[in-house]
Structure 1
Amino acid sequence: MKSSKRTEIVKLLQGQQTGQQVTAMGWVRNKREGKNVFFVTLNDGSCLQSLQVVVDPTTTSDEVLRKISVGAALSVNGTLVASQGKGQSVELQANEVVVLGEADPEKYPIQPKKHSLEFLREKAHLRMRTNTFGAVFRIRHHLQFAVHQFFNQEGFFNLHTPIITASDAEGAGEMFQVTTLDLKNPPRTEEGEIDFKKDFFERSTNLTVSGQLEGELGATALGKIYTFGPTFRAENSNTSRHLAEFWMIEPEVAFYELEDNMDLAERMLKYVIRYALEHCAEDLEFLAQRAAEEEKQKPQNERSEMGLLERLQFVLEHPFERLSYTEAIEILRNSQHNRKKKFQYLIEEWGADLQSEHERYLVEKHFKKPVILYNYPAAIKAFYMRLNEDGNTVRAMDILFPGIGEIVGGSQREERYDELKERAAAFGIEPEALWWYLETRRFGTVPHSGFGLGFERLMLFVTGMTNIRDVIPFPRFPGSAEF
């Protein structure tokens, strides 16, 4: 089989092969006709910029010229030369053009014009060919790589926790069921209930909402582990911040107290943001310009004080503000926003479950920097969080980011057997359902901590996109599993 000897456009644009014969392959973004010449804009996804291809109609057949349309895939062999035009340093003088795949110009939906994000969500099979989504998903790759590199450098082990599970880590009950039973005629027990003993796993199972509980088992053997995998939540929410399928980063560390946990989370966030700034400069600059255009459409009082790049740099340069939930409640209760009833959910007393509007007020209006809240009321947090000596609060911590609200949620885990069993019972969790989790507290228990970082929320912050459905290639939300 003959090799194509293709050179990626990102390498051609560096100009080191100027004067040489090269082969570029990609998809046509645009085509325009000049005087006795055709200019074709070719992009192969390797970078934001496209390569200008100059096609001489006297050396290319009319049949090939007709097939060169927006969306078509081409292989172009020619000479890379310094460009005389504006906007590019080099261009490809074509000697031979081969149309690898045609695109009907009447039907191809991604034309060289501005398309709404809503329209592009309906074309998720093609939207990655646009500049915006090409940039977003290249950044997504680099952020994933940075996460793995950070934990590897910190001495963590990556642990694959199960996607199919019988436990509900959050206790919320919003889980997708996994079954092989005949839904039209499932087997029944004598009491008329579905007989899961006849199911594949011989019990009721679901798609996981978190790898945390299993991650703790790894931490109490390997010391430092992290998971990075898909999680699922059957929450019937159509907001711009929720997905039914999303990716979570969840480190768990033995011998870590709450403050160690906060230090780790802040260090990790700064590492991956710095990595993105260093390795995704071109894509981030493009998205920053796009975000700035969007800001201009907003009312003056709703515009962000900082652009995307400034916001990312600001996070790197400032330590996160740390304060207790109790201190935060006092700030919110006494704020002008609360007094003038500008909050949708007014803060009236200690124990209130903070909403996104409260989190963003603390970050964007009051402290004007990322915030770590800790020591939350036990009543509004999960059963596995360690109870403080006051009996009312748990060693939980949330990290709040501008424009996002909560981006990290974590805690020191309850390592004491009796207290954990009691807390689980208070949440209606039967000891038999989590016997293996409880048992780790009987065999060499230690203080340990961990957190969960929603990867798509991190993506929202880094890219400046405003809808979580636009930072994952194929979003899953109520009523949508098309692609």
Structure 2
Amino acid sequence: MIKKYSIKELLDRGKFFINKKVLVEGWIRSFRYSIFITLNDGSTIKNLQIILSKKLEKKITIGTSIKVIGIIKKSIGKKQYIELQSLNITIYGYSDPYFLQKSILQPKKHSLEKLRSQSHLRFRTSIFSCVMRIRHHIAFCIHQYFHENGFFYLHTPIITTSNCEGSGEMFQITTMDLKKNSIDYTKDFFKRKTYLSVSGQLEAETAALGLGKVYTFGPVFRAENSNTSRHLSEFWMIEPEIAFYHLEENINLAEDFLKYIIKYILDKSMEDLSFLNENFKKYKCSKKETNSLSLFERLELILKFPFKRISYTEVIKILDKEEKKQNIKFFHSIIWGMNLQSEHEQYLVNKYFKIPVIVFDYPSCIKAFYMRINNDGKTVKAMDILLPEIGEVIGGSQREERYEILLQRIKDTNTDKNKLWWYLDTRRFGSVPHSGFGLGFDRLVQFVTGMNNIRDVIPYPRTPNNAEF
């Protein structure tokens, strides 16, 4: 029986296969002079050249799927080391010539917006297949990192009654008839109002207070009416929670975690990164950003230096001073107690420090109820990690472990303590200092791949007015 190989296997170990009979399957990327086929099966960005032994009786088009049995030969051409001399070709499925003309599979460049309109086909394109392979490797190494460091993987619920983030931007779920003017939620499926979760943090905290070190990795949902290049309505989050951890230990973990991921991807995804680096340079040139870093330089910057750590109060002083000194004007005013905006974050990372920045000790008035109050009574033990171009990619804190203070914070933020009785309970039975953070997975993929829009790093983006496919 003839053994089947992926195109990646054949190209990676070319010398080993010379003069051997193999079987490959894939989709036709190009068909030249009625004799040369370039084939791709999704395992790599590279294509395998097929040399036809005879002219095909039926006309084939780009996107046609085939099975090829042939002999691997050393290539005469300079563009590839090996090629496949075909002995037999089986056609699985033709690509309709009429619809091909309207499809993104036709051999010409398309805008990313055009690709998005045919999301079911964009896996076949070079740029999107690169992004998806890198997305896979990032996800894999995240699990590997936590496994190597003694964390337990926890599946937290997607359906919830509580709002961890404290905002009203949640998707409600129900089995009731919404056409009625009034709904009796006691007759609903869960006998109460329920929502799609914005975070698994609170549940993960309860697990950490018994298992020590846990993490979640799953989809979360936010009904924020935002159409920016950095926001999705359905996205993925990684959320570790660790017992007996203080803020500094939490920061150390987050920085080490990011460096581990970047090093892994630079080691494992060089082919895909090289292709995306060229795309990244073209995009920067089109925007006339000639002084910006290449994709590789941006990734290597993460590994090269320790992240800059600075308090929120110092950040406000720097921004205020820079505005006056450099004669620049931020759109959002610099006031202690405000949320840092994207323009402030990018100025800190790209212009002032020129390395990733960790901001800590934020005002309590702009942070969630569960963050531990500092001794000054005004700030909390919170931290954000800011990366070039992307801005915030990690947000975390040391959690408030003191029952009475946590209860008061819940009251002060108008959070319903009755829905969180179980969360408060954990502070009454052997409470300990503990910390955690949330990493926006899609935003990290966007940073690693250099894609300008977060909608291009997830298979089927969910955004306001868009839930197709």
Q: Unmatched 5+ residue regions in structure 2?
A: none
For 1:220, the equivalent position in structure 2 comes to 209
Query: By how many angstroms is 1:18 displaced?
Result: 1.2
Which residue of 315, 325, 331 corresponds with 1:328?
A: 315
For 1:9, the equivalent position in structure 2 comes to 7
Q: Aligned partner of 2:139: which letter?
A: Q
Do the aligned partners of 2:142 and 2:261 also contact (CA within 8 Å) in 1?
yes
Secondary structure in 2 matching 1:88: coil
Structure 2 distance, partners of 1:368, 1:459, is: 21
Structure 2 distance, partners of 1:73, 1:452, is: 41
TM-score normalized by the length of structure 1: 0.94
Do the aligned partners of 2:215 and 2:241 also contact (CA within 8 Å) in 1?
yes
Structure 2 distance, partners of 1:475, 1:77, is: 38
Which residue of 355, 366, 369 corresponds with 2:341?
A: 355
For 2:38, the equivalent position in structure 1 comes to 41
Secondary structure in 2 matching 1:106: helix
Do the aligned partners of 2:39 and 2:49 also contact (CA within 8 Å) in 1?
yes
Equivalent pairs, count = 464
Moved over 6 A (4+): none
Q: Aligned partner of 1:7: which letter?
A: Y
Query: By how many angstroms is 1:341 displaced?
Result: 4.3
Query: By how many angstroms is 1:303 displaced?
Result: 4.1
For 2:129, the equivalent position in structure 1 comes to 134
Structure 2 distance, partners of 1:7, 1:378, is: 57
Query: By how many angstroms is 1:305 displaced?
Result: 2.8
Say if 1:279 and 1:377 are closer, same or farther in 2 by CA, change over 3 A: same
Q: Aligned partner of 1:427: which letter?
A: T
For 2:67, the equivalent position in structure 1 comes to 75
Query: By how many angstroms is 1:337 displaced?
Result: 7.3
Q: Aligned partner of 1:181: which letter?
A: M
For 1:32, the equivalent position in structure 2 comes to 32
Structure 2 distance, partners of 1:162, 1:317, is: 38
Say if 1:4 and 1:167 are closer, same or farther in 2 by CA, change over 3 A: farther
Which residue of 116, 119, 125 corresponds with 1:121?
A: 116
Do the aligned partners of 1:337 and 1:343 also contact (CA within 8 Å) in 2?
no
Structure 1 distance, partners of 2:325, 2:197, is: 37
Do the aligned partners of 2:359 and 2:384 also contact (CA within 8 Å) in 1?
yes
Secondary structure in 1 matching 2:464: coil
Which residue of 406, 411, 419 corresponds with 1:433?
A: 419
Q: Aligned partner of 1:276: which letter?
A: I
Which residue of 255, 263, 285 corresponds with 2:244?
A: 255
For 2:141, the equivalent position in structure 1 comes to 146
Secondary structure in 1 matching 2:408: helix
Do the aligned partners of 2:214 and 2:242 also contact (CA within 8 Å) in 1?
yes
Structure 2 distance, partners of 1:338, 1:477, is: 40
For 1:317, the equivalent position in structure 2 comes to 304
Structure 2 distance, partners of 1:295, 1:185, is: 52
Secondary structure in 2 matching 1:235: coil
Q: Aligned partner of 2:349: which letter?
A: V
Instruction: Report 1:196-345 matches (<5 A).
Output: 196-299=185-288, 302-336=289-323, 340-345=327-332
Structure 2 distance, partners of 1:480, 1:94, is: 44
For 2:52, the equivalent position in structure 1 comes to 55
Structure 1 distance, partners of 2:464, 2:2, is: 44
Do the aligned partners of 1:6 and 1:23 also contact (CA within 8 Å) in 2?
yes
Query: By how many angstroms is 1:185 displaced?
Result: 3.1
Q: Aligned partner of 2:49: which letter?
A: Q
Structure 2 distance, partners of 1:430, 1:292, is: 50
- Is structure 2 residue 375 aligned with structure 1 residue 389? yes
Do the aligned partners of 1:333 and 1:339 also contact (CA within 8 Å) in 2?
no
Do the aligned partners of 1:74 and 1:98 also contact (CA within 8 Å) in 2?
yes
Do the aligned partners of 1:238 and 1:477 also contact (CA within 8 Å) in 2?
yes
TM-score normalized by the length of structure 2: 0.97
Structure 2 distance, partners of 1:28, 1:419, is: 64
Secondary structure in 2 matching 1:25: strand
Do the aligned partners of 1:71 and 1:102 also contact (CA within 8 Å) in 2?
yes
Do the aligned partners of 1:82 and 1:91 also contact (CA within 8 Å) in 2?
yes
Say if 1:5 and 1:330 are closer, same or farther in 2 by CA, change over 3 A: same
Percent identity reads 56
Query: By how many angstroms is 1:57 displaced?
Result: 3.0
Say if 1:411 and 1:309 are closer, same or farther in 2 by CA, change over 3 A: same
Secondary structure in 2 matching 1:23: strand
